Amino acid sequence: MLELNAKIIKIKTGEKSVILNETDAGEMMLHIHDRVSLKKDLQKIIAIVDVSDSMVERGEIGIYEDFLPFFAVSDGDAIELSVATPPPSVAFIRKKMKGGTLNKEELYRIVKDTVTHSLSELEVAAFLMAEQYVGMNMDEVEHLTRAIVETGRTIDFGETVVDKHSIGGVPGNKVTLLIVPIVAAAGLKIPKTSSRAITSPSGTADTMEVLAPVTFSLDALRKLLMDVGGYIAWGGSLNLAPADDLFIRIEHPLSIDPKAQMLASIMAKKLSVGVSTLVLDIPTGKGAKVEDFDTARALGNDFIELGRRLGIKVSCGITYGNQPVGHTVGPALEAREALLALTGKGPNSLIEKSTSLAGMLLEMNGVTPKGQGQAFAKDLLRSGKAYQKMQEIIEKQGGDPDVKPDDVPLGKLRYVVPAPIDGYVSSINNSAINAVAKAAGAPLCKGAGIMLHAKIGYAVKKGDPVLEIFSENEQSLKNAQMIALQRGAFVIEGMLLEELPGF
């Protein structure tokens, strides 16, 4: 055991880690990522080791700023330090890496140790990589889902609630802003807790935040649901399935999305709020997460089976995913387009997708007979009832219920990408569209993003606008222009595809 003096380091690492002087660490035979036990008075905690020869002196222990909520100390406090052994979950992760099957207790311990930061990010990454390349059977997925729920907060609304979710991967998927008011106008309760963007230019919460606040307490959300039948809020502040947020944060830089984790992630969040009926949107096509129908059907059947095990009735909609939904990508642009659609003026692709998915929920809950849900949803849209419900939701969430599409401010700096030749738009690159919108500043800059003036199948003349980029920053706009040109955000083909000269 070693006694060291605390030194507060104003850096956030996202882990329960401390920093030791290289000499002190060497004397205790400690290396980076080893574990130590810290004790001060009645407080005791396990931490991950970082090592430096300059940030702390001999006899000091650096306490990172985001460690303080777990271990309250001040500069100069005496800390007793001793070597700690890894938790058993490390062995369970190793077992999965070798191709083994994990039981309920082993998976619960991995998830629990992730939430308490008892595992390092490196160890969590190893678990996720094992999920990606070894895989999990449905028993393991069920146990993982329940563990994610049990290590977070749950909400009981006291009545039947329904939900819609998309696996993501397609830009401009603002259908939630239509589905929630349609379903609520039909008399169902739909508490929609959505995420902010992680890899996309706008999450549902980012888009809704253009129209109204999205951060609420649990009691406020209960009242919103009782008052108007639905809401669109950010789920990050509620501590629902916190393990999932930690897993996603590590998946992102690894560019992985394990199927088992996707299943558990989505279904855990639904189980944690007591959803009884779920419609799952699986966009399918070139550039989407799922590129072919066979894979989409298999994934959908896995969601249906997992839902059956959890007591959630699931239906899956395999939707067109070859290009963005509607014509806009980016928070303010998408909010504008959603308002247009709610007032009957939006693009047909957005209206068709939104009403088809909303119709599935209506049919599943007996609001309409089978096969009549979409027509009923369209009636709610055409009659203005869905728009009126959205106005109520916006007002109750603290926004302006009378906001019009043209009231939503967009980025003042703009650049139009023209058609290089006469022809037809033959393809749109979803990943390039995402990259351009993000480079322009979305989602942090709400007015940044892209407007698609032409989509697949559109005829264009040389010089016609195809993409319009919006930004608030000159350098961001230049970066977005460069990406749009370098990555080929769209392809235009003339009727003559190739010339084979004979002379």
Rg of the chain over all Cα atoms, to the nearest angstrom: 25
Alpha-carbon distances of 273 from 128, 354, 452, rounded to whole Å: 25, 23, 36
The three-state DSSP-derived secondary structure of 314-326 is: EEEEEEECCCCCC
Domains 2-84 and 413-493 share a fold: no
Distance CA 420, CA 127 (A): 47
Arch. (CATH architecture) of 161-234+269-396: 3-Layer(aba) Sandwich (3.40)
Domain 413-493 has CATH 3.30.43.10: no
- Does residue 400 carry a catalytic annotation? no
Ramachandran assignment for 302, one of left (phi > 0), alpha (psi -120 to 50 degrees), beta (any other): alpha
Give the DSSP letter string of 285-306. Answer: STTSSB-SHHHHHHHHHHHHHH
Which of 34, 244, 245, 257 is the catalytic position? 257
Per-residue pLDDT reduced to its tens digit, 345-359: 889 999 999 999 999
The three-state DSSP-derived secondary structure of 177-244 is: HHHHHHHHHCCCCEEEEECCCCCCCCCHHHHHHCCCCCCCCHHHHHHHHHHHCEEEEECCCCCCCHHH
Residue appearing with tokens 């966009």? 283
The whole-number pLDDT of residue 237 equals 74
Q: Which residues have CB under 8 Å from 486's CB, separation 6+?
A: none
The whole-number pLDDT of residue 495 equals 63
pTM here?
0.90
Distance CA 308, CA 305 (A): 5
Alpha-carbon distances of 472 from 63, 328, 334, 469, 477, rounded to whole Å: 38, 17, 17, 10, 8
Instruction: Report domain extents, the chain.
Output: 2-84, 88-135, 161-234+269-396, 413-493
If one looks up domain 2-84 in CATH, what number appears? 2.40.40.20
Regions of the chain with pLDDT less than 70: 495-499, 503
Alpha-carbon distances of 328 from 158, 242, 378, 490, rounded to whole Å: 38, 31, 21, 15
Helix (H, G, I), strand (E, B) or coil at 136: coil
